[in-house]
Structure 1
Amino acid sequence: MWRKRAVGWLIISFMGLCLLLGRLIQLQLISTEHFTDREINLLEASVSQRSQEMVIDTGRGNFLDRNGNPLTHENIPVLILFPFLAKMDWDVAQVSKITGASEYSLRYSVEKAKEPFAFGSPKPLQLTEEQMEKINALKIPGVFAVKKKYNLLENPAAQLIGITGQNQNLLKERYPEKELSINTMVGLTGMEKSFDEFLLPEGASKLVYHVDATGGPLFGINVKYVEPANPFYPVNIKTTLDYDMQMMAEDLADQHGIKRGGIVLLDIETNSVLAMVSRPSINKSAPFDKDNGGTANHMIKQQIMGSVFKTVVAAAAIDHGLDDPARQFDCSKKINGQPDTKYQHGMLNFNDSFARSCNNTFATVAKELKDINPDLLEEYAESLALIGPVSWQGDIYHFNNFKQLQDEEKGRVFLSGEAKKDSNFVGLTGIGQHEVRATPLAVANMMATIARGGTKEMVRVASEIEYKNSTSLLEFKEQKMEGNTIAPYTAMKLQKLLREVVINEEGTGKWFKDLPYEVAGKSGTAETGRIVDGKQLHNKWFAGYFPYKNPKYALVAVNLGVTEDTGGVNPLFADMVKGIYNLNHNEEDPSLGSTES
């Protein structure tokens, strides 16, 4: 009997041993990097348990402005101290002498530390190059002077650049074949999302030392510097943004109380974004909370554009002979033929109608264009690069149809074929209402297209991707848009119409007559259909370009969802023009006076 029991216990023990051995094989050989459904990396966890480290740079790529200035981070020369210094005698007096920090503060910081830290955190003591050289020359174990990468607290063009976050499911879905740590940051919005695969880290740069269970040195006090094996990473995305112009635009948008809306500034020659501001700002503590900011970039979202669309109607009218200067339109009537109790402009010709933004004229002309060809308004909107998408896209590297702005929305003129044949709908379309939509970026692109004489180009927000050593990985060259374009003659006539808006004594842009640059452009006030406290909400626009005779900049200012008697954007547009002039003439920007709207 006892033999059977002994054999039974041996079998049970052997099975238990096999189970333990199997578990050990799983832990040590099979599931070392993907343990459990939480994808735990046991190798990383093991290393982290027996080491302490100070990450100098996570290894994710960076964003620069067109002159190489950082937009998302800064490298600060700091003093790194390791906690094992508390257990040894080190030359704190010399470190104090070099840095100017007191010996007491240095010792106290080390004694209370449980992991390596930058002295002075959260606002670290910033060293000079000379101080860094002197500290590292001391060769004190656990004392280092290095440049550590810090994220900027305030990011310019926050919605355009976008945000990152840890998202294990998204990481696996986006990169199923890549071996990436579950802690890898991924781009969630904006350019961080569009350029994510380029920005992925090859590995972090860090200072590491091994410890025992008590936190003491395991293999002496040698600290190892670890960096990615590839010296060309992380890469830099060189954007087309101009840091000074971007910061000025951010400040002006806030000064002028833009709660929802923003600014787009383009370089006409290269068709590149120099500044882009979207409000409301991102709430960093809850970035996806739409009630408190949200990450939406309203400059690439379709908006109701109102009378700015009359520019498209004017282009079609010019080509089809409907702009006869001898012809008169009754601008004291609404588009339905009823008397207009608000605007009594009387009889106006086509040019004056455009300058004063007469609704009846452009509703009438739109209906006449419909009778010629119901597709004309859509065709001219496309020819003027208005209905998008307009941002840079193309084949690069190993990407087919790469898009610099993945979240950019398209615009539209009509939603259905029936609407474009209905006179009532067409009349509303002619004044930029009904279903007409465009992004502020596309509106700026339309102005740039007209200023260039009709040449359509894709809008760039990045010019190239650079390796860590500033050599070029790839370029995003200027690229023309496909499709029909307007004739140079049509563009020239539109240029004159847009300038007339400003120089006409009764023009809707007369506020810009005395600016340091000659401005051409078009205003817009669009009804949104939303009523708050009994008041209709409007989108208010001014879109234009300057200098008129030698165009360099296309600019759009828009305020979304404001009442008719508030939220005008003329002062904001005017101050942007003044600010750009001052920047270009190397003058200090004085308090920029506002122009009454």
Structure 2
Amino acid sequence: MQERELEDFYQLNSSYYLKIQERPPKSNLIDFLFYFFVLILVVLGIKLTIFDYNFFKSISEGNYYYNILFFPPRGNIFTSDGKVIAQNIPSFDLVIDLVLMRKDKNLFNQTIEFLEKVEIVPNVITKEKIEEELTKKNQILIRNIDQATGIVIKNRDLPSLIVVDSFQRFYPYGEVFSHLLGYPSFEKNLRGVSGLERTYDDYLVGEIGFKKYLRDARGIILKEVEKKEALEGKNLITTIDFKLQSLVFEKMKENLEKLNLKKAAALFVDDQGKILAMASFPSFDNNIFTKVILSKEEKEKIKKILEDKNSVLLNRVISGLYAPGSIVKPVVAIAGLENKKITPQEEIYSPGYLRVQNPYTKEVFLFKDWKVHGWTNLFKAIRDSVNVYFYTLGERIGYETLMNYYEKLDFTKLSNIDIFGEKEGILKRKEKYFLGDIYNISIGQGEIAITPLRMALLAQALGLNKILKPYLVEKIIDSNGKVVFENKPQVIKENIFQQEELRIVQKAMNEMATFGFGGLFKDLPLKVAGKTGTPEVGNNVFNGIFIGYFPYEKPKYFFVMLVEEAPLFSITASRILHDILKDGIEMGIFKDL
């Protein structure tokens, strides 16, 4: 049975295989097409890799990577009461593609011709400079192109010129805050070069963003390769009181113009070291230094500023060095009291001069007073600024002791205020000195010079018996409002003088402000303590200085006003201060009085 079944199976399968073999053979057309297509690919591959290699190599080498930088807006700067005093307005940055220009002479000529038309060449960059950079760099960046010029460049649509959205620094109050703020320079890629713009540049500048592109030989962007977003700068909150700063500037300008005077400096600082107002004359509009393309008038204005013999850009408050003159007399009085060289009621006679004879040559020198004062005690000496009294007292105290008191007040040191440009004072201690040297330093003349800032800190020392570190920026905040830095009051020195002797001199300073020189401050609803100074700086040429503080009973505000080359006896500095205090009190600027 099994053998029969196997036989049937083989018969069935044999017939199946026979049927397969009997089918017609497959067509060769498909095989032919397949092998023909493979042959074409091989031929093309040989052509591309061998015969056309140089052609495609030149094309690929024409592609290049290109970075476009995106500069973030600088941080804004605010006054303590929220006014924006430094901000940004829209502008453009211009990128000149040197890769395309060195490949295409015609494009180079077109680009230069157009840049001359929009006055970028030669006003901002010369043709020679572009030619010089042509083989060294891939691009030239020009920042702060104004909007009108940027739009014209965009519409011209030259592949060698790329216009990028950017910003321009803008100061809405111009000359009122110019020395305080400073400005960034386009020549330094809009980094701060003076004022707070320089001191806090690393906070203000933000982080640069970029896009990296692959471009072909024609300048067409093939793809974006890499990208980083720009991060805007951080904001400064200053200690400056907007109303007080504006008032100080207005009153100084008004009075200086009346007397045809040009140079002056003023500062207000409080009992925490916060600078409330800072002004320097002559002033300038710092907006002019943020522009790239300037009109003829603007170029002339900049030239005038730079060449002005009055040193317009100098911040006199922190960089001007002046003989302090009679404002040091309260210090000399304290030294006399503490060293038991005088009592408040002891009188010294002033005939209007002191006569001193050189012991070697017998030559006679006259050390003058500004008038005959007669018998004078300490209160009258400070009130009427009696030179002969302080010549005599200085001689009793001695040269070395006087110099020690001035050094104790840090006359030769920086205050380390947070603004660029502060100068150290000058106080030359002589190994060999003469009586005339003692007389000079007793009235703040000779080889002694300090800044108006240091003069204001002298007023602070006389009012509080301590010196605090002055500062202009209260805090720094990021774009989310987070505080990233904050200044705190810092006492540099305290207990400088013995308290009992200091009180006597403070009383004399109050009498000076109330009754001295016609009682200029007695009409105010508060008591002021102060001291004038009129150091001679040339033949009958004097600087007028007034330092002081208020309220007299509980000192909170300290000030200095300095007017260069003021008429003798004009009390210009005191008069300006009086007007500021009078209006400031009425405006409610001075709080907690």
Question: Given the alignment of the two structures, is residue 390 of structure 1 paired with residue 415 of structure 2, yes or no?
Answer: yes
Match of 1:423 among 435, 439, 459: 435
Match of 2:284 in 1: 282
Aligned to 1:152: 171
Secondary structure in 2 matching 1:375: helix
Letter in 2 for 1:440: P
Deviation readout 1:176-233 (Å, 9 max, x if unpaired):
xxxxxxx621221222222222222313799xxxx99999x999xxxx9x997465x3
Work out whether residues 411 and 427 of structure 2, in 8 Å CA contact, stay in contact via their aligned partners in 1.
Answer: no
Q: Which residue of 2 aligns with 1:350?
A: 378
Residue 256 of structure 1 aligns with an amino acid whose one-letter code is N
Partner of 2:534: 525
> 8 Å contact 2:370–2:387 — kept in the other structure?
no
State the superposition RMSD in angstroms.
Answer: 4.1
Deviations 1:25-70, CA, capped at 9 Å, x for gaps: 7x978xx7xxxxxxxxxx34xx59xxxxxx9x84223322123322
Does the aligned pair in 2 maintain the 1:414–1:435 contact within 8 Å?
Answer: yes
Matched, 1:186 2:195: no
Equivalent residue in structure 1 for 2:551, among 543, 547, 550? 547
Taking a change above 3 Å as real, the CA distance of residues 550 and 368 of structure 1, as seen in their structure-2 partners, is same
Q: Which structure: greater helix fraction?
A: 2
Q: Secondary structure at 1:444's aligned position in 2? A: helix
CA contact (8 A) 1:305 1:432 kept: yes
Q: 1:204 to 1:444 in 2, by over 3 A?
A: farther
Q: Which residue of 1 aligns with 2:478?
A: 467
The 10-residue stretch of structure 1 (147-156 or 327-336) with the greater mean CA deviation from structure 2 = 147-156
Rounded to whole Å, the distance in 1 between the matches of 2:368 and 2:245 is 41
Measured in 2, the distance between the counterparts of 1:335 and 1:21 equals: 95
Question: How many equivalent residue pairs?
Answer: 438
Instruction: Mark the structure with the bigger radius of gyration.
Output: 2
**Amino acid of the structure 1 residue aligned with 2:276:** L
Q: 1:228 to 1:460 in 2, by over 3 A?
A: farther
Aligned-pair distance for 1:430?
0.4
Contact 1:366/1:427 (CA < 8 Å) preserved in 2?
Answer: yes
Question: Does the CA contact (< 8 Å) of 1:202 and 1:228 recur in 2?
Answer: no
The residue type equivalent to 1:556 in the other structure is V
AA aligned to 2:316 is: H
Report the secondary structure of 1:569's partner residue: helix
Deviations 1:253-274, CA, capped at 9 Å, x for gaps: 10011510121111x3211110
- Distance (Å, rounded) in 2 between the aligned partners of 1:554 and 1:281: 23
CA shift for structure 1 position 369: 1.2
Task: Supply the AA of the counterpart residue of 1:297.
Answer: N
Paired with 1:445 and 1:586, the residues of 2 have a C-alpha distance of 19
Tell me if structure 2 keeps the 8 A contact 1:509–1:522. no
Bigger mean CA deviation after superposition, 340-349 or 493-502: 340-349
1:147 to 1:581, Cα distance in 2 relative to 1, 3 A = farther
Distance 1:364 1:218, change over 3 A: same
Matches within 5 A, 1:470-489: 470-482=481-493, 485-489=496-500
Q: Which residue of 2 aligns with 1:265?
A: 268
For residues 549 and 59 of structure 2, what CA distance do their matches in structure 1 show? Answer: 70
Give the equivalent residue in structure 2 for 1:328.
347
**2:403/2:429 contact within 8 Å kept:** no
Separation (CA, whole Å) in 1 of partners of 2:349 and 2:210: 71
* Residues 276-326 of structure 1: per-residue CA shift (max 9 Å, x gap): 000011364245434365311111122112111112211211211223134
Could you tell me which runs of 5 or more consecutive residues in structure 2 were left unpaired when the two chains were aligned.
1-52, 92-147, 156-164, 289-301, 357-365
> How far apart are 1:246 and its partner, in Å?
0.7
Query: What's the counterpart of residue 166 of structure 1?
Result: 186
Aligned-pair distance for 1:343? 0.8
Deviation at 1:473, TM superposition (A): 0.7
The aligned counterpart of 2:238 is: 239
Q: 1:228 to 1:560 in 2, by over 3 A?
A: farther
What amino acid is the match of 1:71?
I
Return the offset for 1:75.
6.6
Give how far 1:457 is off: 1.1
CA drift at 1:425: 0.6
Mapped contact 2:248–2:580 kept (Cα < 8 A): yes
Between 1:406-415 and 1:426-435, the stretch displaced more is 406-415
Cα 1:335–1:278 change in 2 (3 A) is farther
Secondary structure in 1 matching 2:265: strand
In structure 2, how many angstroms separate the alpha carbons of the residues matched to 1:21 and 1:517? Answer: 86
The structure-2 alpha-carbon separation of the partners of 1:500 and 1:413, relative to structure 1 and needing over 3 Å to count, comes to farther
Q: 1:60 to 1:502 in 2, by over 3 A?
A: same
Q: Give the AA of the match of 1:279.
A: F
Contact 1:315 1:494 in 2 (8 A): yes
**Aligned partner letter, 1:575:** D
Quote the offset at 1:519 in angstroms.
Answer: 1.0
User: For the residues of structure 2 that align with 1:586 and 1:308, how far apart are their CA atoms?
Assistant: 24
Taking a change above 3 Å as real, the CA distance of residues 324 and 474 of structure 1, as seen in their structure-2 partners, is same
What amino acid does structure 2 have at the position aligned with 1:550?
Answer: K
Tell me the amino acid that sits aligned with residue 270 of structure 1. Q
- Equivalent in the alignment of 2:110: none
Q: Measure, in 2, the Cα distance between the counterparts of 1:542 and 1:476.
A: 29
Q: Percent identity?
A: 22
User: Counterpart of 1:515?
Assistant: 524
Is 1:306 matched with 2:325?
A: yes
My pick for the range that moved more, 286-295 or 303-312, is 286-295
Aligned to 1:444: 456
**What letter is aligned with 2:490?**
Q
Distance 2:518 2:277 in 1: 22
Whether the aligned pair in 2 keeps the contact of 1:517 and 1:577 (CA below 8 Å) is: no
Judge conservation of contact 2:205–2:234 (CA < 8 Å) in 1: no
1:66 to 55, 58, 80: 80
User: Shift in Å at residue 480 of structure 1?
Assistant: 1.5
After TM superposition, the structure 1 = structure 2 runs for residues 333-412 of structure 1, keeping only pairs within 5 Å, are 333-336=352-355, 343-370=371-398, 374-392=399-417, 404-412=418-426
Residues 355 and 497 in structure 1, CA contact (< 8 A), matched pair in contact too: yes
Q: Please say if residues 240 and 273 of structure 1, whose CA atoms lie closer than 8 Å, have aligned partners that are also in contact.
A: yes
Task: State the SS of the aligned residue for 2:503.
Answer: helix
Distance 1:261 1:463, change over 3 A: same
Query: How far is 1:579 from its partner?
Result: 2.2
CA distance 1:238–1:305, shift in 2 (3 Å) = same
Quote how far apart the aligned CAs of 1:561 are: 2.4
Kept in 2: contact 1:508–1:523 (CA 8 A):
no
